[in-house]
Amino acid sequence: MPKNVTHTDRRWLSLALLAILGLTLWRVALLPFSGIDLFVDESQYWLWGRELAFGHYSKPPMIGWVIRATTFLTGAEEGFDIRLALPILHGLTAVLILILAEELVDLPTAAVAAISYATLPAVSLGSILVSTDTPMLFFLAAALVCWVKLRAAPSLGGALLLGACLGLGMMSKYAMAYVFVGLGLVVALVPTWRIALRDGVVALLVAGLVVLPNVLWNLQHDMATLRHTADNAAWQGLQLNWGNALRFLAEQFAVAGPLVFAAILAQILFLRRTWEDEDTRALLLLALPALTVVLVQALISRAYANWAVGSYVAGVVLAAVWLSHRAPRLMIASLVINGLIALALPVAVTQAETLRRPDGVLLLKRHLGQEAISRRALDAARELGLDVIVAHDRGLLADLFYRTRDGGPSIYSLPLRNPVPHHYALLYPIPPGLDRPMLYLTFSGQARACDDPAVEQREVLGWTAGPGTAEGQRLSLLQVPPGCWN
């Protein structure tokens, strides 16, 4: 039966939609004034957008497709164009969470869940910096909406859409696999969340078909993406590191906001009460797999704070239920704290070159200074009349490829192998038989230019990097002859 929508419900619905729209417009409006360079990952994702392949060295291809779509629509490839889809996708994801939560709880709680998602610190950061999490979270939320609709009304069309969302989520980031684990637990432990067998089978088949091109790409490229994912895990036997695990948990208070994550922990700690309601139980089962697996990963090796971000699609609804029904004052405090962070971060990024820690180090140094390095190398190549630049460092290569997007020297990676260390070495090594003099850009002392130490090489430029990502490090630009690398 349709729910009765009261005047209060309408007010909460309007508040949620206005908050999401206003915050999205705020983020988009400030993007052109960003004071940060493209980070190494962002430049790499831009290149993926130009390649339009079904796979890449370190991640599935969706983020590149998204960037290609926005740069095609805007007709430019500046930082604004590359990042434009981020706040829009997060805004749409918040709307999907509103729809999801409205199916499970009352509209006021659904509104709190949607606003909580839109203002998560991780989402605020993901609306500024390109991340594979952004499209994954969108497709994850869309898949859960499809699922809750299908449990009430079986539909072949709905099953096809569910499968497409699951597959496209996997094509965004392999962490989408946690959703399959969560849904499996839900089917086993929450009877009211089971969908028709036909719909489940159709969805799995469609998801498999969507992911198949990426599987084939990996098979053609020595399983590069899967190898990189395994390397990231960095398992070296059973070594329990409680400090890493505690650090990961502490970081979740920053990822989700202190009160949102505290509310999720409260739902876990008061498990008996949480378990009584089947919808809340299902949300818990959907949120737990990523958090649990990544916590174990942190315990035995290492884990980055964002590796469990997929937990927060169901997690914000879980938190909203707790905060709205049991701690309304904390609910307001949570929305205010995260909301202020969400409004402040886009402004802070416009002042990236002036924001410093108490010790004088630039707060956003990882995102500054890379363009200056590339420009210096490219200017030297132009003055010397040389049209090939080689590097082995991924960060240097990423920015050089981006800075030469409209023409300039050809950029190549050293032909590195066993194992191939990055995307550029995989697809853009120095071509065999290249018979022109080259410039080799490197951080001093990292790698010798030529295989043969007897080959003559000349440093044409050496300098110490200024403020930013490589501040204080010395760079060398070496002129090397053809055949330097066998």
Q: Check: CB of residue 162 under 8 Å from CB of residue 142.
A: no
Return the higher-pLDDT residue of 433 and 187: 187
Q: Is the pLDDT of residue 180 over 90?
A: yes
Model pLDDT for residues 282-302, shown as the tens digit of each residue: 999 999 999 999 999 888 877
- Same domain? For 382 and 337 the reply is no
- Split at pLDDT 50, 70, 90, the class of 175 is very high
- Buried b / exposed e over 239-260, threshold 16 CB at 10 Å, is eeeeebbeebeebbbebbbbbb
The CA distance from 201 to 376, in Å, is 56
- Same domain? For 157 and 61 the reply is yes
- Same domain? For 204 and 330 the reply is yes
- pLDDT attached to residue 243: 86
- pLDDT attached to residue 1: 37
Q: Is the pLDDT of residue 74 over 90?
A: yes
Return the higher-pLDDT residue of 333 and 271: 333
- pLDDT attached to residue 231: 60
- Same domain? For 331 and 373 the reply is no
Average pLDDT of the segment spanning 59-69: 96
Half-sphere exposure of 202 (CA within 13 A, CB side): 16
The CA distance from 467 to 371, in Å, is 11
CA distances from 259 to 91, 181, 263, 264, 270 (A): 21, 26, 6, 9, 16
The CA distance from 127 to 34, in Å, is 12
Q: Is the pLDDT of residue 91 over 50?
A: yes
The CA distance from 62 to 475, in Å, is 34
Average pLDDT of the segment spanning 410-429: 86
Q: Is the pLDDT of residue 238 over 90?
A: no
Q: Is the pLDDT of residue 446 over 50?
A: yes
- Same domain? For 391 and 315 the reply is no
- pLDDT attached to residue 259: 96
Which of these three, 319, 350, 381, is where a domain ends? 350
Highest mean pLDDT: which range of 4-18, 112-126, 243-257: 112-126
Q: What angle do CA 351, 354, 355 make, to 5 degrees?
A: 80
Average pLDDT of the segment spanning 184-212: 96
Q: Check: CB of residue 463 under 8 Å from CB of residue 475.
A: yes
- Same domain? For 434 and 307 the reply is no
Specify if 279 maps to a domain.
yes
Computed over every residue of the chain, the mean pLDDT equals 91
By residue range, what is the domain housing residue 303?
A: 7-350
Q: Is the pLDDT of residue 145 over 70?
A: yes
Model pLDDT for residues 302-336, shown as the tens digit of each residue: 788 899 999 999 999 999 999 999 999 999 999 99
Specify if 106 maps to a domain.
yes
Counted domains in the chain: 2
Average pLDDT of the segment spanning 326-355: 94
- Same domain? For 111 and 197 the reply is yes
Least-confidence region, from 19-28, 92-101, 442-451, 468-477: 442-451
Specify if 192 maps to a domain.
yes
